[in-house]
Amino acid sequence: MTQAAAPGFVSFVGSGPGDPDLLTLKAVACLQQADAVLFDDLSAGPILSHARSGADLVGVGKRAGRTSPKQTHVSRLLVDYAASGARVVRLKSGDPGIFGRLEEEITALRAAAIDFEIIPGVTTASAAAAAAMIPLTRRLTARRLQFVTGHDIAGVLPQDLNMAALADPQATTVVYMPKRTFPVLAERLFAAGLPQNTPAMLAENVSRPEQNLLRDSMQALAKRLERDVSSAPGLILYGSLADAP
């Protein structure tokens, strides 16, 4: 009889927004030890140069408007690799726990009795603020920071968003995956009382050589995105700090 392989181990690793210099030391160490790396689109390129020679590199990223692996397939791959005894890195862009569907993959591993760890990464909101040389909070005028997704699983604006909270003038709000639904979101925010001239910033390809930061008012940015939406990954930050310094 052949002996079954001992269960492997999965490290959920945050790769940051794209600049390999923003990887943590622990993230690099995990990549260097992994037998298999399942990576998002935005974690590809120079970041994968840290992977061990001979490791399986498997792209499992999802991008709006493109054919992408189903989440059930990604979870199954994680379980299958780890069940064979492999040490696996699930390389997620930004931070694994922020709009990264981390919980679904954790659930699959727990059901298969496979151990795992979570290694945080620099989320794109922090990198975008750093690139723009602004803080995300400020005493008195930006007391609260909130992250929200711009689309649900069907790719449309979620219908259950708390518009009163998102229209709070004393909050800094960051919208992930925002561009296609931002004109609709902006109209709902204006109806909830957010001034149309509220400063906003569109940040695309954050931390990459092709990075683009565009500052405008909420109204003007919404009109711009009605006319043209690029395929570049981006987020939108709005609130009093968006036009600083």
Is 41 catalytic? The answer is no
SS3 of 12, please? strand
Is 62 catalytic? The answer is yes
| HEC readout, 44-75 | CHHHHHHCCCCCEEEECCCCCCCCCCCHHHHH
Q: At what angle do helices 102-111 and 71-83 cross, to 10 degrees?
A: 40
Active-site hit among 62, 80, 152, 243 = 62
CA-CA distances (angstroms) from residue 225 to 56, 181, 244?
A: 39, 9, 22
SS3 of 82, please? helix
User: What are the start-end ranges of the E strands in the chain?
Assistant: 9-14, 36-39, 56-59, 87-92, 115-119, 144-149, 171-176, 199-204, 212-217, 234-238
Active-site hit among 40, 95, 168, 216 = 40
Residues 38, 116 contacting (CB under 8 angstroms) = no
| Amino acid sitting at position 43 | S
Rg of the chain taking only CA atoms, in angstroms: 20
Residues 32, 13 contacting (CB under 8 angstroms) = no
Eight-state DSSP code of residue 152: -
Task: Please identify every residue annotated as catalytic.
Answer: 40, 62
